[in-house]
Structure 1
Amino acid sequence: MATKPYLIFSLHNIRYAIAAKEVTEIFLLPELTPVAEAPPDVVGLLNLHSVFVPVMHLDLRFGHKFDQCNLTDSVIVLESQGLQVGVVVHQVETINEIDDRYIQVDLDYGRERKINQAFIEGVINLDDEIIMLLNVDNLVRHPDALEALIDAQESQLEAKSSARGFYDRYFPAASLNTKEILSRRAANLREAIDNDEPTELISLAVVSINGDCFGLDLSMVREFTKIERVTTIPCCPNYIIGNMNLRGEILTLVDIRQPLNLEAIDNNQPLKAVVIEVGDMVAGIAVEEVFNIVDLRPEELKSVPAAINSQTACYLQGTANYQDRPLNVIDLAKILAQGALTVELAA
């Protein structure tokens, strides 16, 4: 099978994919600096490690109705023919290895293609859901598509044209606390990287379990998927939810709330699974939601507070801050090997 990695993200509950090789960085939306003569889809410049990077909003690039930015928006930095450009999206989900047979390119609509359809390269059929595959070079550089959308975009922004600041134009509802958070994010991104002393970042998938935020080591995460059509396994412990068919592979779903000393909450039922691979073991960790993918500096990961229950703390690598909420980082290898989850997972 010929597989390639694709970054999956969403905008207005529509999922999109781009080739992962085109992505250089991903981070939460920071404060930006608008530029008067920039194209109408470019919402500002970002000082990224002492390099100025233009940032476009995907709504404006597509010609969609634009309301405002959100604190939970993410920026994906793409590289096209030597040019770096940031793209604002709603939520970054994961990087999936996708087989070419699930991808259909060169869509034919039976009529002349509109110019802005140059952005859509094809579709991906993943778990019976259609994901739009974007052409990065066209998204960044296609001049005709941009010209075709200018009138619609300028009319959207006409009421805001007299406002010069980023917040007035693109984030009018931002509170003082929100502005402080975005400003702090921008300051962190301005720091230049010392090539002689590279920083090893910790990449985490941020998920919800019982309404709390937990971090999962992204190096052990294979993909994210919806939980559906689960087959229960007779005579198994209650933390084994069952098996599900994941594109021909039998995946065992595990509920890790018991070793984390978390009580099951009826209205917080797991809807998604994080497929992890630890050594020879592949399993699905049941979660309520997948929020984001973040990179932390090692110094941002602090020791587990003494206030956390000792039974829970022994399965945590540390704690960090995520959008002003505590983020507990789970030791996946330890919880699967020693967390009373030592039954042989179904193959």
Structure 2
Amino acid sequence: ELLVEQQANINIIAGIVNFPDDIFILNEPKQWLEDSEIKQVISLSNYLQKENYDNYNVDETQTHDSESLLLQKSIFYPNATLEARKVLKQRADHLRLPTKNQDFHSFKTLAVITLNDHLFGIDLEMVREFVEIHQVTPIPCCPAHIIGNMNLRGEILTLVDLRGLLLNLPPQGIVFGSKAIVIEVEGIVAGVIVGEIYDVMFSLNLQKVMAIPKTINTINEQYCQGATLYNEKTMHILDIPKIFLQGGLIVDEVI
């Protein structure tokens, strides 16, 4: 009874129907909103309809017409400044854009790793997984960049060290907790030893890729696609296909 009395005070209850096992409370939709709230909804609807009409019928070069529309007061947001209305209009225009028109090809997802305190980005499409290195079996009569073989869930994975190729530094030994990235390029699968894995899903805007700064002369530029900023530090984007197919990593000799 208290609930019914409280609901009746705000005039949204039209009545009550009693059944043997149930009680139905009849609602009054006309009382859901006050008059001022209904006016705001109508004002917003009319504003959006006028915006859609203008988008189809007004030349974009006629900016004075758009600004005059923005200056018109609306019950929905009567105190908005011209700048605020411009921002709201830009957001509304952006939300009206179909998803198919958005350029997702201008972005690439990278894994961010370190080698000797240098940041490198690797295209995530070529990364199969991230693993910790445990027992490694050396391979006789192989170049220094071939560290050895590792058993990865029954698959024999060859581990390589890119420091000599990218940084002109001697390979470093395997220590406890060392990590590797399993990379697959055109059917070639290998594990690349890394120092640290900083990020596994870094979204790179390709428009922000820049040429490698000339002040950095320790990086072998021919195996990099460019550079970008990662946490305000320079990160080099590796050309993985070129490294694997033209960098001399593949040993195709019979001894």
- Which interval holds the TM-score relative to the shorter structure? 0.5 to 0.7
Aligned pairs for 1:104-253 (under 5 A) are 195=99, 196-200=101-105, 201-253=107-159
* Separation of aligned partners in 1, 2:219 and 2:212: 12
Q: Give 1:302 deviation, angstroms.
A: 1.1
- Give the ranges of 4+ consecutive aligned residues of structure 1 lying more than 4 Å apart after TM superposition: 265-270
Q: Give 1:267 deviation, angstroms.
A: 9.2
* Separation of aligned partners in 1, 2:171 and 2:165: 15
Q: Higher helix proportion, which one? A: 2
> 2:198 aligned to 274, 291, 301, which one?
291
> 2:243 aligned to 335, 338, 343, which one?
335
Q: Give 1:268 deviation, angstroms.
A: 9.3
Look up the match of 2:209: 301
Instruction: Name the amino acid aligned to 1:234.
Output: P
* Separation of aligned partners in 1, 2:203 and 2:145: 30
Q: Provide the TM-score with structure 1 as the length reference.
A: 0.41
Look up the match of 2:75: none
The answer to whether the 8 Å contact 1:259/1:311 transfers is no
Identity percentage of aligned residues: 42
* Separation of aligned partners in 2, 1:308 and 1:341: 24
* Separation of aligned partners in 2, 1:316 and 1:212: 13
What are the Cα deviations for residues 103-154 of structure 1, in whole angstroms up to 9, with x where unaligned?
xxxxxxxxxxxxxxxxxxxxxxxxxxxxxxxxxxxxxxxxxxxxxxxxxxxx
Gaps of 5+ in 1: 1-191
* Separation of aligned partners in 2, 1:306 and 1:268: 32
Instruction: Name the amino acid aligned to 2:193.
Output: A
Judged with a 3 Å threshold, the aligned counterparts in structure 2 of structure 1 residues 231 and 267 are, in CA distance, closer, same or farther, namely closer
The answer to whether the 8 Å contact 2:108/2:206 transfers is yes
Look up the match of 1:19: none
* Separation of aligned partners in 2, 1:216 and 1:228: 23
Q: Give 1:266 deviation, angstroms.
A: 5.9
Judged with a 3 Å threshold, the aligned counterparts in structure 2 of structure 1 residues 268 and 297 are, in CA distance, closer, same or farther, namely farther
* Separation of aligned partners in 1, 2:247 and 2:171: 20
Look up the match of 1:69: none
Instruction: Name the amino acid aligned to 1:253.
Output: L
* Separation of aligned partners in 1, 2:144 and 2:150: 16
Q: Which has the larger radius of gyration?
A: 2
* Separation of aligned partners in 2, 1:254 and 1:307: 28
Judged with a 3 Å threshold, the aligned counterparts in structure 2 of structure 1 residues 205 and 198 are, in CA distance, closer, same or farther, namely same
The answer to whether the 8 Å contact 1:301/1:319 transfers is yes
Is the partner of 1:333 in helix, strand or coil?
Answer: helix
Q: Provide the TM-score with structure 2 as the length reference.
A: 0.56
Instruction: Name the amino acid aligned to 1:274.
Output: I
Once the two structures are overlaid, the 10-residue window that deviates more, 241-250 or 330-339, is 330-339
Judged with a 3 Å threshold, the aligned counterparts in structure 2 of structure 1 residues 210 and 223 are, in CA distance, closer, same or farther, namely same
Judged with a 3 Å threshold, the aligned counterparts in structure 2 of structure 1 residues 279 and 235 are, in CA distance, closer, same or farther, namely same
Look up the match of 2:186: 279
* Separation of aligned partners in 2, 1:325 and 1:311: 15
Judged with a 3 Å threshold, the aligned counterparts in structure 2 of structure 1 residues 285 and 267 are, in CA distance, closer, same or farther, namely closer
* Separation of aligned partners in 1, 2:185 and 2:153: 20
Instruction: Name the amino acid aligned to 1:303.
Output: A
* Separation of aligned partners in 2, 1:284 and 1:248: 15
> 1:322 aligned to 226, 230, 242, which one?
230
Is the partner of 1:284 in helix, strand or coil?
Answer: strand
Q: Give 1:263 deviation, angstroms.
A: 1.7
Instruction: Name the amino acid aligned to 1:275.
Output: V
What are the Cα deviations for residues 21-46 of structure 1, in whole angstroms up to 9, with x where unaligned?
xxxxxxxxxxxxxxxxxxxxxxxxxx
The answer to whether the 8 Å contact 1:210/1:265 transfers is no
Q: Give 1:197 deviation, angstroms.
A: 3.3
